[in-house]
Amino acid sequence: MTDGAFTYNGGRVDPGETADIRYSISETYLGDPVRVPITIVNGPYDGPTVFLSAAVHGDELNGIEVVREVAQDWPHDNLHGTLVCIPVVNVPGFIAQERYLPVYDRDLNRSFPGSDTSTSAKRMAHQLFTNFIEPCDYGVDFHTSTRGRSNMLHVRANMDDEDVAALARAFGSNVIIDSTGPEGTLRREASDAGAPTITVEMGEAHRFQRRFIDEALDGVASVLAQYGLHPADPVDWPGWRTTIESGEKTWLRADAGGIVETHYAHGDLVHEGDTVCTITNPFKSTRDEVSAPFTGLLVGLLENPVVYPGNPLCHLVELDEPTRRAYERDRNGTMPERPA
């Protein structure tokens, strides 16, 4: 909980104040500062401190607009707590429109909590983590799929951690994938440091996709309602929800090279044995059909329709029978209200 100013190395934001800052975390080859844009909204009333971050991978853009709209467009006159909004974490990658830091191609999202005496990536991560992540009570980190693939909106969270699990459910997505996350990821290291954090995956790289942005804004509103930052707002119930563990998901991969025709969209239900996609050569004289090994939901899907053998085609998560029925009721518009 915050009962006063939000402080960081070089500044403070008092209750009732909002600050737009550009925080220096490194220097370029020319010695110019690498500065990260951060908005800190310290509400007039006491409450938790929540960070919202995006573009830890520099080409993942959907989350940028989510964080910007929360910081700049939402009213905060009745905010109970503090929002730390970081719309572009990986500024060098964003400028280059690359996933990784264009400094020896390092992944900033494997560099947290960082170190002030290590690599350039870990030094950047350290500045951000110690000043703006670790002081928070909760966090939501926005991502998209990598280039050439797209994800339906879903949450990734360590559901063995009760505080993280509560946050994941509060976001209100249909699908939660249960995983601790690799070492060095922002969500794992923030959670281990005492700031329960989830990852939200949505859409594809290199673009704004309004439908996903609006869905994610609903999720943020639900989180802020759940934790009392917006105490008058309702917590969202998605209608149906499934939590996927490690043994209940798989990537379908190409066994042949060629041009891919997909027969479903992400978010679709496919049944065991259904042909999810077909790979053909330029003359369509060869056909390699890729079938679903079990009944499940297409969470991620190839967008760039060309593959080598071994390339990922789609991310399939298994749904049990009750969840399938709930999914179908939702798609048919017959979903009951959330039970009281």
Contact indicator for 197, 139 with CB cutoff of 8 Å:
yes
Low-confidence winner among 56-65, 278-287, 323-332 (lowest mean pLDDT): 323-332
Residue 1 has pLDDT above 70, yes or no: no
Q: What is the pTM of this model?
A: 0.92
Largest Cα–Cα separation, the chain: 69
Task: Name beta bridge partners: 234.
Answer: none
- Calculate mean pLDDT across residues 231-239: 89
Residue 172, C-beta contacts closer than 8 angstroms, at least 6 positions apart: 218, 219, 222, 235, 236, 237, 238
Contact indicator for 205, 59 with CB cutoff of 8 Å:
yes
Residue 79 has pLDDT above 50, yes or no: yes
Kindly report the backbone phi and psi dihedral angles of residue 121, in degrees, each rounded to the nearest multiple of 5, phi listed first: -65, -45
Indicate the pLDDT class of residue 3, thresholds 50, 70 and 90: low
Residue 2 has pLDDT above 80, yes or no: no
**pLDDT at residue 337, as a whole number:** 53
Percent of the chain at pLDDT > 90 equals 85
Contact indicator for 161, 84 with CB cutoff of 8 Å:
no
pLDDT, averaged across the chain = 93
Q: Using one digit for the tens of pLDDT, what is the confidence trace for 181-195?
A: 999 999 999 999 999
Rounded to the nearest 5 degrees, what angle is found at the Cα of 310, between the Cα atoms of 306 and 315?
80
Give CA–CA dist 75/79, Å, rounded. 8
Q: Using one digit for the tens of pLDDT, what is the confidence trace for 136-187?
A: 999 999 999 988 899 999 999 999 999 999 999 999 999 999 999 999 999 9
- Measured between alpha carbons, how far is residue 3 from residues 43, 47, 82, 146 in Å? 10, 7, 10, 40
DSSP 243: E
Question: Helix, strand, or coil here: 161?
Answer: coil
Contact indicator for 154, 242 with CB cutoff of 8 Å:
no
Contact indicator for 87, 55 with CB cutoff of 8 Å:
yes
| Nearest residue to 124 via CA among 106, 139, 138 | 106
